[in-house]
Amino acid sequence: MKKKNVKKNNNPGKKPKKGKKIFYEERSHKQNKIYMKKSLYETPEEKEKKEEDNQNENNDDNNDINDNNQENLNESQEEDEYEEFTIKLSMLYFDQCDPKKCTGKKMERLGLLKETKFSRNYGGILLTPTGKKICSIEDHDIIATKGICVIDCSWAKFNELHLDLHKIETRSLPFMVAVNPVNFGKAFKLSCAEAFSACLYLGGFEKEARFIMDHFKWGAHFFKINEELFGKYKGVTSQDELKEIQEKYINDELARKQKRKESDGLGDFNEEMNKKNKKNKNKKNEDNKEADDENEENENDDKKEDEKGMENEDNENNEEENSKEEDEEEEEEQIDFNMFKNVKIDEDDFKK
């Protein structure tokens, strides 16, 4: 069968088909740029202003409009629906995680960030666990002009990288709870996407922060769980205030947990159960030790019995060898005696 010649469309100007997901609609088909849909990320205040402006325009424009003017208005409205995502996001990737589960790698595939190499002259904000300051609204200008970079590695092995960060503006993130499937519900263990969105939100880029998280199924829950924290951190510029808010929130959460246990009547019960569990563990350990000692004794006894058995076998073998030698000697003696029996002796020989 002959294969049919299929013509490939290599026309870069052709617009791709729209998909169900958001990022397919927002990607530019002519340039390597990404656009955000304004209607999805408008604040309540912006929506109110839009409604007022539309009402005023409708009241002013009561006369009929020509077809050409209508087309121009429609084109301007379509252009206004999308806003370009201009913040530069980058990532230092050290291949210490599963690329299939890595949110940074997914963002790279979608064109939201670029993987780069470490440079001492980087002018943007570098997110590290040992940052000089906590991200705040003061970083707005740096984020807008130079961007944000994330280090994708295990924080336990961060010191092994030996990066020279003296000249770089390093930042850390305040207390937040992760929502990603790998570290769900764990504090401070944010994924790359969560770190980017948190830094953008605290820096005054709320739309961009939500835009990034909309590319993940679980992204919306990140803002729901940390809604109270974002409300407290938002607009705070002092580092001391941010640290106080963080410590107070942690202490309040611990106090709430204790009150819940007491209100449910489970505080004393949990303590008793913990004590019982400890006792049971100790008993199990003691029983295991006794069992190990018994096994060692049994092994020693078995060894001794084996040694005794070997000695008995040696003695039996020696006895068998001795009995065989005696039987051989007896046989030799009997043969000699028979030889004499066969000899004939006359009485005349004795008389002589």
For the segment 203-261, what is each residue's pLDDT rounded down to a tens digit? 999 999 999 999 999 999 999 999 999 999 998 989 999 999 999 999 988 888 888 77
The reply to whether 303 falls in a domain is no
The reply to whether 320 falls in a domain is no
- pLDDT score at 30: 42
pLDDT of 289 > 60? The answer is yes
* DSSP alpha helix (H) spans, the chain: 22-26, 44-60, 67-81, 103-110, 140-145, 192-202, 206-213, 219-225, 227-233, 239-264, 267-341, 348-351
- pLDDT score at 166: 82
pLDDT tens per residue across span 24-79: 444 444 457 888 887 777 776 666 777 776 666 666 555 555 555 555 555 545 44
The reply to whether 45 falls in a domain is no
DSSP string, 226-261: THHHHHHHTT---HHHHHHHHHHHHHHHHHHHHHHH
Name which residue leads in pLDDT, 181 or 163: 181
- pLDDT score at 161: 75
Q: Specify whether the CB–CB gap between 34 and 27 falls below 8 A.
A: yes
Give the CA angle between residues 179, 184, 187 to the nearest 5°: 85
- Phi and psi angles of residue 27, each rounded to the nearest 5 degrees, phi first: -75, 135
The reply to whether 63 falls in a domain is no
Q: Return mean pLDDT, the chain.
A: 75
- Dist. CA 169–CA 162, nearest whole Å: 17
- Residue type (1 letter), 108: E
The reply to whether 189 falls in a domain is yes
Total residues found in the chain within this entry: 352
* % the chain with pLDDT above 70: 64
* % the chain with pLDDT above 90: 28
The reply to whether 82 falls in a domain is no
pLDDT of 340 > 50? The answer is no
Lowest mean pLDDT among 17-31, 79-93, 157-171: 17-31
- Residue type (1 letter), 183: N
Lowest mean pLDDT among 122-126, 215-219, 277-281: 277-281
Q: Specify whether the CB–CB gap between 145 and 87 falls below 8 A.
A: no
C-beta neighbour count of 249 within 10 angstroms: 16
How remote is the C-alpha of 225 from its chain's centroid?
19
Name which residue leads in pLDDT, 57 or 332: 57
User: Which sign does the torsion angle of CA 192, 193, 197, 198 carry?
Assistant: negative
Can you tell me the mean pLDDT for 67-94?
Answer: 70
- pLDDT score at 40: 79
- Dist. CA 30–CA 144, nearest whole Å: 24
DSSP conformation class of 264 = H
- pLDDT score at 137: 93
The reply to whether 95 falls in a domain is yes
CA dist 294 to 281, 290, 304, 305, Å?
A: 20, 6, 15, 16
- pLDDT score at 319: 66
- pLDDT score at 21: 46
**Parent domain of 188:** 89-236
The reply to whether 198 falls in a domain is yes
pLDDT tens per residue across span 223-239: 999 999 999 999 898 99
Report the domain count for the chain.
Answer: 1
- pLDDT score at 71: 54
pTM beyond 0.75, yes or no: no
